[in-house]
Structure 1
Amino acid sequence: MIFKVIGDVHPGTHFLGYVKYYPDARGDRELFGRTYRQNSVVSKAFGILADRPECYLYSPAVGCVITGVPREDIVTHYSCRQTLTALHQTPGLLNRTAVGQDLFAIINWIFAADVIGVTGSFLVGACNTRSDIDLVCYGARGYEAARALFAEHALIHPVRGRDPHPALRAARQSTWWPPPTRPSSASPSPAGRSANLPPTCGKYTAA
């Protein structure tokens, strides 16, 4: 199972979070050679973890019982920033869907390895045609980079009508893949697939 981390205050025994992807034949995501289902409801994690009582705990920071990953059960810690670096360096890791091309256009425009990251399905390699783009900004520089991105109307424009993919229409490449890379002044450290990245921040895979 893959957990989405909640907050930045965690007890010594667990990392707080809820089940985001779990094995289920009715799902529409492929992970680790199996079919997984996405969960977007925090409270549903209690049912998914009904046979894992060690994943229930009281959090004084949250003020209630919540789910979490016992630290000794963590297999992989996915890094938002290092995954963005990996996708920038190896665009073949992105799927060839319209939203995958959209994300690559954003990465090329905004790329800054230390202040911007990608989360959601692209973080763990569970993206498909129904995925959206979830970016994370870190600190003041990340905030300014995100503001500049949303002010760049050649890349981002407002939702109009019932268009399910309103962003990045002007930047999308429709005839070949991958799109040309934009020269970057950043010097990102090498990184592989997100599943093999060392711990910094993001999601956890539990045993």
Structure 2
Amino acid sequence: MKTLLPEEYRVRQFRDKDFIEDVDGAIFCVIGNIHPPDRVISYLKYVPGFRGEAVRVKWSRDGKSFSRVLPNYSALGVLKVQEYLKSICSNYVYFDPYMNIEFIAVPREKIAKHFLPELRLGEIISGAKDPLEEHALRLVKTICRESNVDVGSIGITGSILLKIHNLQYSDIDLVTYGRESSVKIREAVKKLLEEESYGFHRPKGDMLKQWAEEIAKIHPLRIDEAVKLYSTKWNRAIFQGRQFSIHPVNTEKEEYGRFKYIPKGIVRIRCQVVDDKDSIFLPCKYIVKNVYFLEGKWVSEIREVVSYEGLYCDIASAGETITVQGKLEEAEDLYYKQKYFRVTVGTFEARGLDYIKPDSWS
């Protein structure tokens, strides 16, 4: 297996699912690829030491413990962390004039370390240091072999990236870089899950019920809808007894400040997906048509449904009809002076009540 990475990966900009550590040792997960010139959009996940506000404490590195302060993976979970951070370090919370929202954006001068998933995987390939790293390496080798994708298009994120993983509890979280490689990996993993080859399988039985119940507690899904979601989802499953996830990351050039968004309230719509090629990334995007308003202010020309909630990535294909509840936004392309509307899921304004539901779940 090739261990050297392309030169362009050695020095690069901040990407989705990278991690950064600030000068005080707090660790943040990067959100998306588009960032203000002097900041990095992210959410606070770990803080050093034992904290009373911690959700749990089971991670360590070189004898140093870390507390997880993110309660769950949801917009409301991130909002709780943002409110906590604002109370102790207000300059980390930033109002963006283009997105028209307030979010965590770490000042670049406060960043002490930038953790790159592809470089960390290269270290593991050169020599795994523990059973979990060996397990992760088996997963990567199997995926590369079955998809015919080079290891340079894959990275490892989460606690293993940070070297704070817990051998008993930690999952294996992978990233895949680029559209072509990500699609190849998706198709290969889908086949492995369907055939249950090499130790791949989706959750079933009590595990499926548990996953469905957990996600239904923090998202507006019925248990039966959550069961259907995890019965078909390809990028969160089990490999040889260990939970894994895969997060495709777009490598196409994106520019900060090209689009400006104006909030127009919460709506509920039904629409048909006509293009799903960007639904594998985060934020995920579905191009839509035949929009019918169920609730909220009617507008013309809703072009897209966007989700910052990874749960709804890659759940609907072109031709499918979906029901969406989310924030209506007027989008303006400042380069081409064009305006249109979109519905965005995973926003603070929706207070955890937004969703995307394909008709196939009914």
Contact 1:88/1:108, CA 8 A, preserved across alignment: no
Matched, 1:127 2:165: yes
* Post-superposition offset of 1:86: 1.2
* Counterparts of 1:142 and 1:127, CA distance in 2: 25
Matched, 1:104 2:128: no
Aligned to 2:32: 7
Residue 96 of structure 1 aligns with an amino acid whose one-letter code is P
Where do 1:64-79 residues align within 5 Å? 64-79=101-116
Equivalent of residue 154 in structure 1, options 188, 194, 198: 198
Aligned to 1:178: none
* Post-superposition offset of 1:142: 3.1
Measured at CA, do residues 7 and 60 of structure 1 come closer, stay the same or move farther in structure 2, by a change above 3 Å? farther
Which structure would you say has the larger Rg? 2
Q: How many residues align?
A: 167
- What is the root-mean-square deviation of aligned Cα atoms in Å? 2.6
Aligned to 2:58: 28
Aligned residue for 2:238, secondary structure, equals: coil
Measured at CA, do residues 116 and 8 of structure 1 come closer, stay the same or move farther in structure 2, by a change above 3 Å? same
* Counterparts of 2:62 and 2:102, CA distance in 1: 30
Measured at CA, do residues 117 and 146 of structure 1 come closer, stay the same or move farther in structure 2, by a change above 3 Å? farther
* Counterparts of 2:162 and 2:176, CA distance in 1: 18
Matched, 1:42 2:78: yes
* Counterparts of 1:44 and 1:24, CA distance in 2: 20
Contact 1:119/1:136, CA 8 A, preserved across alignment: yes
Contact 1:158/1:167, CA 8 A, preserved across alignment: yes
* Post-superposition offset of 1:170: 8.1
TM-score between the two structures when normalised by the length of structure 2: 0.42
* Counterparts of 2:99 and 2:157, CA distance in 1: 22
* Counterparts of 1:145 and 1:125, CA distance in 2: 25
Q: Percent identity?
A: 25
Residue 30 of structure 1 aligns with an amino acid whose one-letter code is S
Residue 149 of structure 1 aligns with an amino acid whose one-letter code is V
* Post-superposition offset of 1:37: 1.1
* Counterparts of 1:30 and 1:148, CA distance in 2: 34
Unmatched segments (≥5 aa) in structure 2: 1-25, 52-56, 145-149, 211-236, 243-362
Aligned residue for 1:162, secondary structure, equals: helix
**Quick one: higher RCO (CA 8 Å, sep 6+), 1 or 2?**
1
* Counterparts of 1:101 and 1:155, CA distance in 2: 15
* Post-superposition offset of 1:70: 0.7
TM-score between the two structures when normalised by the length of structure 1: 0.70
* Post-superposition offset of 1:118: 1.3
* Counterparts of 1:76 and 1:113, CA distance in 2: 24
Matched, 1:168 2:205: no
Unmatched segments (≥5 aa) in structure 1: 172-207
**Runs of 4+ residues deviating >4 angstroms:** none
Equivalent of residue 93 in structure 2, options 42, 53, 56: 56
